[in-house]
């Protein structure tokens, strides 16, 4: 689902603008497989994004220019995403047999029934899901909308960086798109299973539940890797930038594992458990078959084991690169380290092959 799309005959860069970093991924299709052409991450200055909103467009644009330069990509068309919390998704019923233009006109006429904002203040798109189970003369339509200010802010920073946004997606739907890349590491390819993706970012953890290959539930919770960084700052009395650098380089005191990392790991596992309880309360399910951990925190040693212990559910670290080849100048070790954090970027890059 894209909030808008312009024609583009070339591949798209998947660009994930997170609260602490920008991630870029470029894929090429080779038969039924993909090849990683470019992959890079660049940290953002503190407070460039505040509560998922771009607070410092100049800083984000500068970061985008840097990550493009570091990746050495020549592609300038991109797919980006707004956070799930900045989007509204509804399944509505419409008469069967209408063209896309007729559907769009009908949705605009009835928009006030579905959206809490005036139509002129939103960007919206829709996708026909298929025949309605309750009315043989109707179809179910997925309607997705976001306040235009959220879309315009992300499109604007790409423009400032010399890039063109061809697709604006929603992060949870990007995760759904990327799910197809995870099949090689799933039992039976994930067929017939209810699988929860837990994307642990710097300030937000997103639970996305996939059933029969489709997104059936998503919810964001305010918890992420920033809590670990703040714990490092408080424990060792160092500023933010130094704490981030020390974690990245592994240059921390001997008591870090026991006094800082272990409590964070346990807190994160409890957060995942609570997120699942919200899903169970909102659905007919009382369990999921598998948990997949994604995001930057998924690479923390022992996270999967801690989550498995807290939830009693089989848990793996997501690796969307598992069945991919890569350009010769991309270090295999670095790709393996970055893979869990690139899941949203993967889903966005796949939009170039729709």
- Average pLDDT rounded to a whole number, residues 324-346: 95
Tell me how far CA of residue 206 lies from CA of 123, 241, 346, in angstroms: 23, 25, 16
What's the chain's length in residues? 354
In eight-state DSSP terms, residue 132 is: -
Cβ(94)–Cβ(139) below 8 Å: yes
Q: How confident is the model at residue 23 (pLDDT cuts 50, 70, 90)?
A: very high
**CA pseudo-torsion sign 337, 338, 341, 342:** negative
**Per the structure block, which two tokens stand in for 109?**
């006429």
pLDDT reported for residue 31:
85
Is 160 a residue whose pLDDT tops 70?
A: yes
- Average pLDDT rounded to a whole number, residues 88-109: 88
- Average pLDDT rounded to a whole number, residues 29-40: 93
The CATH 3.30.420.40 portion of the chain extends over 2-85+149-225+262-353
If you search the block for the tokens 């007729």, which residue do you land on? 102
290-294 and 194-200 beta bridge pairing:
parallel
194-200 and 205-211 beta bridge pairing:
antiparallel
- Average pLDDT rounded to a whole number, residues 316-341: 95
Distance CA 155, CA 175 (A): 20
- Average pLDDT rounded to a whole number, residues 209-226: 91
Distance CA 253, CA 325 (A): 38
Is 4 a residue whose pLDDT tops 80?
A: no
Could you tell me where the beta strands, DSSP code E, fall in 46-137? 49-50, 53-54, 77-82, 87-95, 122-131
pLDDT reported for residue 187:
87
- End-to-end CA distance of the chain, in Å? 11
The CATH 3.30.1490.300 portion of the chain extends over 89-147
Cβ(106)–Cβ(87) below 8 Å: no
Cβ(19)–Cβ(26) below 8 Å: no
Is 27 a residue whose pLDDT tops 70?
A: yes
List the CATH code of the domain at 2-85+149-225+262-353: 3.30.420.40
Tell me how far CA of residue 262 lies from CA of 223, 256, 265, in angstroms: 16, 8, 5
13-17 and 77-82 beta bridge pairing:
parallel
Cβ(182)–Cβ(190) below 8 Å: yes
* Three-state secondary-structure class, residue 268: helix
DSSP lists the bridge partners of residue 139 as 94, 131
Of 186-190, 258-262, 282-286, give the lowest mean pLDDT range: 186-190
Strand order in the sheet with 21-30: 2-5, 164-170, 77-82, 13-17, 21-30, 33-43, 325-326
- Average pLDDT rounded to a whole number, residues 67-95: 94
Architecture of domain 89-147: 2-Layer Sandwich (3.30)
- Residue 352 or residue 6, greater confidence: 352
Which is nearest to 238 in space by CA: 251, 224, 225?
Answer: 251
* Buried residues in 294-304 as b, exposed as e (16+ CB within 10 A): bbbbbbbeebb
Of 126-140, 143-157, 298-312, 319-333, give the lowest mean pLDDT range: 126-140
- Please, what is the Cα angle at 142 between 137 and 148, to 5 degrees? 135
Q: How confident is the model at residue 1 (pLDDT cuts 50, 70, 90)?
A: very low
């Amino acid at each position: 689902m894209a909030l808008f799309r312009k024609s583009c005959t070339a591949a798209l860069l998947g660009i994930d603008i997170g609260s602490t970093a920008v991630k870029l991924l470029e894929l090429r299709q080779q038969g039924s497989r993909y090849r990683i052409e470019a992959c890079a991450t660049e940290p953002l200055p503190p407070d460039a994004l505040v509560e998922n909103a771009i607070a410092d467009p100049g800083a984000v644009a500068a970061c985008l220019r840097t990550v493009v330069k570091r990746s050495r990509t020549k592609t300038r068309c991109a797919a980006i995403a707004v956070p799930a919390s900045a989007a509204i998704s509804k399944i509505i019923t419409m008469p069967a047999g209408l063209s896309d233009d007729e559907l769009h006109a009908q949705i605009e006429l009835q928009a006030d029934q579905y959206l809490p904002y005036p139509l002129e203040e939103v960007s919206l798109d829709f996708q026909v899901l298929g025949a309605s189970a309750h009315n043989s003369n109707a179809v179910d339509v997925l309607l997705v909308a976001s306040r235009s200010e959220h879309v315009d802010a992300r499109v604007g920073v790409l423009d400032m960086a010399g890039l063109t946004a061809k697709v604006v997606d929603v992060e949870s739907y990007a995760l759904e798109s990327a799910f197809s890349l995870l099949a090689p590491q799933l039992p039976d390819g994930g067929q017939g299973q209810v699988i929860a993706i837990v994307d642990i970012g710097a300030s937000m953890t997103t639970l996305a539940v996939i059933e029969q290959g489709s997104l059936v539930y998503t919810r964001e919770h305010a918890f992420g890797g920033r809590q670990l960084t703040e714990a490092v700052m408080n424990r060792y009395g160092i500023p933010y930038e130094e704490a981030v650098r020390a974690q990245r380089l592994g240059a921390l005191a001997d008591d870090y594992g026991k006094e800082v990392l272990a409590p964070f790991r346990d807190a994160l596992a409890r957060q995942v458990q609570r997120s699942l309880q919200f899903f169970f309360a909102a659905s007919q399910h009382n369990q999921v078959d598998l948990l997949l951990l994604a995001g930057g925190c998924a690479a923390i040693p022992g996270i999967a084991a801690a989550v498995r212990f807290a939830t009693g559910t089989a848990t793996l670290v997501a690796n969307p690169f598992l069945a991919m080849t890569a350009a010769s100048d991309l270090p295999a070790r670095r790709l393996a380290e970055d893979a869990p954090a690139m899941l949203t970027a993967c889903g966005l890059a796949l939009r170039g092959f729709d």
